[in-house]
Amino acid sequence: MPASTRATLSLVADEDSSKRRQILDGARKLFLDLGFDGASMGEIARAAGVSKGTLYVYFADKSRLFEAIVEQESLEQGKVAFNFDPARDVTTTLMDFGQAYIQLLCRPGGGSATRTVMAIAERMPEVGRRFYENVVALTIRRLADYLEAHVAAGDLAIEDCELAATQFMQMCQASLFMPFLFQAAPAPSAERIAQVVQSATRMFLAGYRARA
């Protein structure tokens, strides 16, 4: 293939990718503000700054567009790098993870994304399942793998590490995520998050630290 042809194809691909991102960015804001049912394809096109015809070139219907946004959100959250180095001590790792995890959940738009997926999950269960598997379950498995390493090292005494990982994550959410999710309270401060995570860590180790 001539170099000029390859360059032309590359420019077309870049433009195509850029246009798709432009649509997804506009649609995401509208879905978060209005919900799935409240956002029409015409409003999405206006929010994205494209024609309705262009919108349908990239996405056959609103469901396909919504699925693409959920998939993108899942991938972005899945990229968050929590430090689960087995060489790190358990207390430090749990404290650091807990605070980073709650900050991720309670970031601007984080509650809206969860609310939007929850609202549509009954109608589009595959979308809800993928979001859970690629975000929540993936984080549980990563933490469980870290806990298993410390069970093997004799630091922890845990029979079911996935259960223990889920318990710790739920304890970190206590009094923080649900009020934020239902818009009953603003995002918690870093100081409040640290306080709750410290309590969760203390309770977790009281139950699972290996006895001499």
In this predicted model, what pLDDT tens digit does every residue of 162-180 receive, in sequence order? 999 999 999 999 999 999 9
| Greatest C-alpha distance within the chain | 71
What whole-number percentage of the chain has pLDDT above 90? Answer: 56
What residues does 209 pair with on adjacent strands?
156
pLDDT higher than threshold 60 for residue 64 = yes
Please, what sign has the CA dihedral across residues 53, 57, 58, 59?
Answer: positive
Q: How far apart are CA 166 and CA 140, in angstroms?
A: 6
What pLDDT, in 10s, does the model give residues 88-134? Answer: 999 999 999 999 999 989 988 777 778 888 888 888 898 888 888 88
Q: What is the DSSP string of 117-152?
A: HHHHHTTSHHHHHHHIIIIIIHHHHHHHHHHHHHHH
Average pLDDT value for residue range 79-93:
91
pLDDT higher than threshold 70 for residue 78 = no
pLDDT higher than threshold 60 for residue 3 = no
The answer to which of 5-14, 30-39, 57-66, 147-156 has the lowest mean pLDDT is: 5-14
Name the nearest CA neighbour of 59 among 22, 13, 14, 15.
22
Name the nearest CA neighbour of 101 among 139, 144, 141.
139
Q: What is the DSSP string of 27-55?
A: HHHHHHHHHHHH--HHHHHHHHTS-HHHH
